[in-house]
Amino acid sequence: MTSPRVLDGSSAGGQFLRTALALSVLANEPIRLENVRGDRPDPGLAHQHLAVLETIAHVCDADVSGAELGAKTIAFEPGLETDGKRTGRGQLAGGEYDIDIGTAGSVTLLFEALLPLATVLESPLSVTVTGGTDVAWSPPLDYFRYVKLPLLRRLGLAAACEVDRRGFYPAGGGRATLQVAPSTLEWVDLVDRGPIEGLRVYSTESASLADRDVAHRQADGALERLGRDATPDLEERCETTADSACPGSALVLRLDHGTGVAGVSALGERGTPAERVGEDAADAAIRFLEGNAPVDRHMADQLLIVLAVAGGRVRIPTVTDHVETGCALLEDFGIDVDRKRDGEATVVSVPSPLPETR
């Protein structure tokens, strides 16, 4: 039995856990993660993180210890087969899975943890998850569907997401399906942004808020704050009224440019006018437009695992705590990460990805 790679999550959160699990599977290498989510007020595995751990364990037939709520130490050994042995780089069988997070825990964060596994799939993988589709501290569903997936498709990922119903905090109850096919990711070259080519607006309201025109007012608030002079051509305006277990709303602005897409978002909150939600998203879009990075600040840390798989470079608008801990995690797996300051932005490069992942 191979000794596990010991990782310390004392200065990190859930993203560290998700990336560590994906790297463990991609390298087919056991890990022991200590001080899980040690940088959070409520450290240890919450429902959302436990669902991620259990789902990846099911998909790759892993041996796991510490898979329980509140656990601060977990051990994870992927069960990928290679020439009949549980050693070396392996392949996943794919299949269909149905997961219930049990709370309004983020559906999109669970999906994100699964995307890198496309590079070791033998056959398609379909995962249906019940939980929160548009909740705080995670990408709204439309960001995942209309910003992240289109960007990753440009890099070779074969994946799609279908939504059955929305789930807002605190009831959750949303349901969506991620479908992933075997994929080979291309070398990443996201340094130059190119001209801004278009704006897409995705505004969603629960059916209980339809009589207040929340989706329409959110979109109006965003477009008015952006102003005609600063706004690229409006390519699409989509306003959706969705059934859900409790009231809620979300807004995503997608910015298309010469080398890819970027996005910003805002969630409705009780007591916050719908127009203000739109203005908050527009303010984030304006900050993005003022910079020169081709990806938004939230996409930056999510692309680190892609760099680990495919190699390449990306200019990011700011080095967040998630980026710092993510880069350190890649280095823990023996992946060289180069960070160079470039004006107000930073270029992150991985010259050599994980072996046999391209």
Query: Which residues carry out catalysis?
Result: 322
Of 147, 235, 170, nearest to 161 by C-alpha is 147
Q: What are phi and psi of 132, to 5 degrees?
A: -95, 125
Residue pair 56/112 in contact (Cβ under 8 Å)? The answer is no
What does the DSSP assignment read for 205-248?
Answer: EEGGGGGGTHHHHHHHHHHHHHHHHHPPPEEEEEEEEE--SS--
Q: Vertex 302, ends 350 and 43: CA angle to 5°?
A: 115
φ/ψ region of 134 (left if φ > 0, alpha if ψ in -120 to 50, else beta) reads beta
DSSP 213: T
Beta bridge partners of 292: none
Helices (H), 37-88: 47-59
